[in-house]
Structure 1
């Protein structure tokens, strides 16, 4: 009617939608940020199981948009869909908060409650995803307010990035900065705050109810497109002779040529989507595997006396991504064009290549953290003697050789046995500095050796003032755990009473973490957390600043020399305690990959999809993200013995997927669609035709 855009005000209603999206993103990003640590540290899942649960959660979150789009477009409408899905979302948050507080329940019950909560949250957030920005777009009158609509989308994207930025920085602080329920962390506080944020999101959205333009659901495009595909397949399979140029042409009796043509174009786009899940598989691990890697690293920033939490490293992602997205059209895209990278598929290939490099760097960093694994040749055997005496000991053996063990030291012997297991005679001679126990002159004894094995022995005084060489367990376990935690065994001298109370207490402010030495009574290796510890005997500190680093095997021996408790810490297969900033190179590559790939994928999905079935293509795009997370689940179930090998596998998979994408895109023909003014009328005409022909084809279909 001659209305120009500046006469139409920017709709006030969209501010409620933007605020709702900001709060929802804080909630969802906050849950993703701390979820794997909650699963491992509170619910006691293994890292592999936690990874599976995390990516199943993400899988459902990105599969539900298809259901949400169907409900919004065909049944409830966008407004009702968002409200009803928000109820699922909110209940899931409240249940998750309750599960984190349920200390009185068994661990099995807590796990079940948490899984139910995550299921509700995934249904809620997935159902909302396809509705929020499209509902915001419904508030504008087009084409008169096209520029205002563009500003809305920019603010909407900014709200998403800002929400993720707030969540990834502050929620880990709430998790770690406060101790509650007898733990070193306070997940109830983190989840409780996120629940309040979700309540705020729902209330804010409802406050704008009277201002919204609410369009009635009338678009069955997803059903029509699927119907066209399945009808064509059925007719092709049941038709004995076919003269159709394309298998979709079999649907010509029931669907219009425009619908068939659009479906053909859609399948060409979906053909490119085949390569997308592998990218999402790598991208999704920022919130799972990369956090686990960060738990093995030093986040301390000494100059400001503050520690970067493992899950807080993700803050780099939304912050840098937001800056790159804002400069994408003005800086990044022209820069790529200088190297001939202009077409969407070329940019997608580059994004995939950068993701592969990111995981290659992740594998290299994992190798640096773990160091070398000790491997005993199959033809060789080793035995180690730990000296629990405060004097030097000479060891002589005609078969294994000779050696001297210093006071509270150790010596490692190598021997090549003929049989799989043999007995080796040895003589121990004590020097004059040894205290005058009954048999401290010489000790003739023997040790057992086995091919490809290592066995440890402990030379210890007894309560009867004798000395003996005691075997420690069966064989030494030299394997480093996949999670990279230090392995510790605790050995107490035989002249110390077994009912004495010893503990390892972590030497950190307000920390509650401790290990009672009675749990090491069987002298097996046990996983402990990184950090500085004090060894205590009741209230007395025997030894301070015992430092455990990742991927290292420790033997802690407690002696009672000259009526004074002393401890000695021995290290084998040492790993490295690197600073968390060593993750920055892999973050740089994955962030650059993310910005290039996702920005291009969204553009490709929108511009290459026929105007009438954009919602169908958008739903298929979301499903590629869900399948990517499902891929991580399958690979995690395979359970690689070493995490580095899993990272290398993903890097190789991504390089192969890059080649697949190049192959799929080689003959792809780009399209240029124009929205025609009679599209809606044409769709209505097709619906009428479909209804009119329905009875006609019922009989032939059933036949």
Structure 2
């Protein structure tokens, strides 16, 4: 006897699809994990430009599903579409790997090769994206195997999470822990491993070719959907009176399109109507691979007692790891818990996901504010000046217009004054104490300083090289208290007048295994301007001689390094700190990632099942492509916000996205208020019944 419909076994073919997706997602997310650092550190793009390229790549990746769906549903079929575009995908990986090795080429050639590789990867991954999951769904007979289909979706997503967990942890180790081609990183090895995984995914998928249920494409089914929509719109605009006699405006197309096409189009539009709120979610979600990665580069990943450092991009491992745990326990823990607090249907879970995403960005903003720490703000009517004392004695400053103060040996004092005009000259008297007797002009020095409204200027108390005469020399430029958006420390170097500027001074980073260590000649600081440098430990050298070995620069901090000679005519230096940032441990990113994990499970898992079950069988790939298009639009919003709004502070950008996410959550509440859920018939042979919608009363 043939088994009853209730005893249908889960098709073996879906395991080939799951493992194919596992390898492909390992490739894609491993690439996304390190690509933004490859763009900034190897191709020398700025942080903002790297972010724009990253989101442009993701944008194209989620724009291509529309064309992949057209090819799959109307021309090639899903099986051939997956095979052919996967080959394009693999070629892109090979080109990107070659570009990372091509150091003998010019930077522009290396950049162009990398961009070409990324474009081909985006075309490949985007083209197959709407096909793989729906191709797996077509292996089941619905509604008889609805529970098995739900299990497949969980396994499918679990496979993705396993791939992401391994790739987001393992690929950064290949990138950073291995050194090749004279560098302290090895992007070629990381990209090469990913290329191998993509080739493996093609082989695995082909191995199951004889087991698959292959639904034949229906000619122009997607174009027919668009045609039905535009034909009904044209009739509604042309014959406005006739639209009052039909239940739905799409019924105006009944003279040209079948009831099946019209019914399917209605169902598609109702799902896409909910998708209106999706792009904002993706605009925030995708920044884990760009803005959050750059935030992590400003943090300390050292694990005490272990000779290992958490790489900035390895924080992405938190998301798939906890996501996998939540997915596996969702039917027993997460969803029953949500049900107890009144969150039961798909729309309610989507709203929860959006809300938690907004909270995640509030956490990110708070953390970034803490990293950047203090910030000097000079009132518009006030002026300030600083005096750096390079002498090894105390100096008292006296003025009838200022409060009196004593600057300690090699100390610093800040003075505030309210000038009567934009610029005002203030007379001051410097009194050197007895320990200053090695210097000429021991006693009192009358001089002037200039105070400007809303600005700060610095002076260096130093001695001349010839006769050790004490002078108060103004620094060439006003003080700059604007911290760079990328969080790098900024430093200026001031040379005392008693120092020979022609000597080979340099600021050299320590602890680098690569011969290409950061090396800054002091001549590059001759203008006495602030300059961005990577944070870390540095030595101040003169030729082979190390003058100072304790220069430790932390993120988001303003430094002034003064080089001078002491009483014995020996060189020495002192590092002054202003507006100090905080070098926090990278684990402080965990709260924002955990919020995003719950948001991902509540939003993405729900959306995948919602999109598949609410889509007519004939055009499921098209609905999947529309879903992917929302991700593309979300990345476009990030690109526009960075290009057009140009936030000076990253904290403000995070708060902006948290705010629009909150507004988007309210929009989703409005859109989903009256949504009615539907069910469709789908047979194991890939054919479908006439799309008769079964309306439920649940909202």
TM-score by length of 2: 0.92
What residue in structure 1 maps to residue 544 of structure 2?
A: 539
1:530 equivalent to 2:535? Answer: yes
What residue in structure 2 maps to residue 514 of structure 1?
A: 518
How far did 1:151 drift? Answer: 5.8
- After superposition, what is the alpha-carbon deviation per residue over 1:274-326, rounded to whole angstroms, capped at 9, x for unaligned? 11111111111111111111111111111223211110001011111001001
How far did 1:10 drift? Answer: 7.3
Closer/same/farther in 2, CA of residues 678 and 55 from structure 1, 3 Å limit: closer
How far did 1:441 drift? Answer: 4.1
1:390 equivalent to 2:392? Answer: yes
Instruction: Determine if contact 2:268/2:615 at 8 Å carries over to the other structure.
Output: yes
Q: Which moved more, 1:590-599 or 1:252-261?
A: 252-261
Closer/same/farther in 2, CA of residues 135 and 601 from structure 1, 3 Å limit: closer
Alignment of 1:137-536 (within 5 A): 137=137, 153-209=153-209, 214-218=214-218, 220-239=220-239, 241-242=241-242, 243-245=244-246, 246-434=248-436, 436-465=438-467, 466-508=469-511, 510=513, 512-516=516-520, 517-536=522-541
- After superposition, what is the alpha-carbon deviation per residue over 1:161-219, rounded to whole angstroms, capped at 9, x for unaligned? 11111110011111111233444322222222222222333344445556656554335
Instruction: Determine if contact 1:221/1:616 at 8 Å carries over to the other structure.
Output: no
How far did 1:130 drift? Answer: 2.0
Closer/same/farther in 2, CA of residues 149 and 645 from structure 1, 3 Å limit: closer
Q: Which moved more, 1:91-100 or 1:552-561?
A: 91-100
What residue in structure 1 maps to residue 677 of structure 2?
A: 670
Closer/same/farther in 2, CA of residues 201 and 134 from structure 1, 3 Å limit: same
Secondary structure, counterpart of 1:304 in structure 2: coil
Closer/same/farther in 2, CA of residues 260 and 217 from structure 1, 3 Å limit: closer
How far did 1:493 drift? Answer: 1.9
Q: Which moved more, 1:104-113 or 1:560-569?
A: 104-113
How far did 1:102 drift? Answer: 2.9
How far did 1:83 drift? Answer: 2.5
1:610 equivalent to 2:612? Answer: no
What residue in structure 1 maps to residue 629 of structure 2?
A: 623
- After superposition, what is the alpha-carbon deviation per residue over 1:394-414, rounded to whole angstroms, capped at 9, x for unaligned? 222232343222221111111
Could you tell me which runs of 5 or more consecutive residues in structure 1 were left unpaired when the two chains were aligned. Answer: 685-703
- After superposition, what is the alpha-carbon deviation per residue over 1:103-157, rounded to whole angstroms, capped at 9, x for unaligned? 3333333332222221111001111212223444556788998877666544433
Instruction: Determine if contact 1:396/1:427 at 8 Å carries over to the other structure.
Output: yes
Instruction: Determine if contact 2:141/2:682 at 8 Å carries over to the other structure.
Output: no
- After superposition, what is the alpha-carbon deviation per residue over 1:476-509, rounded to whole angstroms, capped at 9, x for unaligned? 1111111111111111222222222233333326
Secondary structure, counterpart of 2:436 in structure 1: coil
What residue in structure 1 maps to residue 658 of structure 2?
A: 651
How far did 1:526 drift? Answer: 1.0
Closer/same/farther in 2, CA of residues 264 and 343 from structure 1, 3 Å limit: same
What residue in structure 2 maps to residue 698 of structure 1?
A: none
Q: Which moved more, 1:18-27 or 1:632-641?
A: 18-27
Closer/same/farther in 2, CA of residues 219 and 342 from structure 1, 3 Å limit: farther
- After superposition, what is the alpha-carbon deviation per residue over 1:321-359, rounded to whole angstroms, capped at 9, x for unaligned? 001001111211111111111121111111111111111
TM-score by length of 1: 0.91
Secondary structure, counterpart of 2:305 in structure 1: helix
What residue in structure 2 maps to residue 549 of structure 1?
A: 554
> 2:46 & 2:442 partners in 1: Cα distance?
48
> 2:215 & 2:360 partners in 1: Cα distance?
44
Instruction: Determine if contact 1:39/1:50 at 8 Å carries over to the other structure.
Output: yes
> 1:597 & 1:357 partners in 2: Cα distance?
14
Closer/same/farther in 2, CA of residues 311 and 539 from structure 1, 3 Å limit: same
How far did 1:571 drift? Answer: 0.8
What residue in structure 2 maps to residue 687 of structure 1?
A: none
Secondary structure, counterpart of 1:251 in structure 2: helix
Closer/same/farther in 2, CA of residues 597 and 144 from structure 1, 3 Å limit: closer
How far did 1:387 drift? Answer: 1.1
How far did 1:458 drift? Answer: 1.0
1:576 equivalent to 2:579? Answer: no
How far did 1:678 drift? Answer: 12
Secondary structure, counterpart of 1:470 in structure 2: strand
Secondary structure, counterpart of 1:306 in structure 2: coil
> 1:167 & 1:387 partners in 2: Cα distance?
53
Closer/same/farther in 2, CA of residues 326 and 373 from structure 1, 3 Å limit: same
Out of 661, 665, 676, the position equivalent to 2:668 is 661
Closer/same/farther in 2, CA of residues 393 and 539 from structure 1, 3 Å limit: same
Secondary structure, counterpart of 2:104 in structure 1: coil
Could you tell me which runs of 5 or more consecutive residues in structure 2 were left unpaired when the two chains were aligned. Answer: 692-699
Closer/same/farther in 2, CA of residues 79 and 258 from structure 1, 3 Å limit: closer
Instruction: Determine if contact 2:140/2:684 at 8 Å carries over to the other structure.
Output: no
What residue in structure 1 maps to residue 640 of structure 2?
A: 634
How far did 1:543 drift? Answer: 2.0
Secondary structure, counterpart of 1:476 in structure 2: coil
What residue in structure 2 maps to residue 24 of structure 1?
A: 24
Secondary structure, counterpart of 1:628 in structure 2: helix
Out of 598, 602, 625, the position equivalent to 1:592 is 598
Closer/same/farther in 2, CA of residues 664 and 10 from structure 1, 3 Å limit: closer
Instruction: Determine if contact 2:681/2:688 at 8 Å carries over to the other structure.
Output: no
> 1:393 & 1:573 partners in 2: Cα distance?
24
Secondary structure, counterpart of 1:533 in structure 2: strand
What residue in structure 2 maps to residue 696 of structure 1?
A: none
> 2:267 & 2:14 partners in 1: Cα distance?
33
> 2:150 & 2:401 partners in 1: Cα distance?
83
Q: Between Structure 1 and Structure 2, how many residues are aligned?
A: 684
Please tell me the root mean square deviation across aligned C-alpha atoms, in Å: 2.7
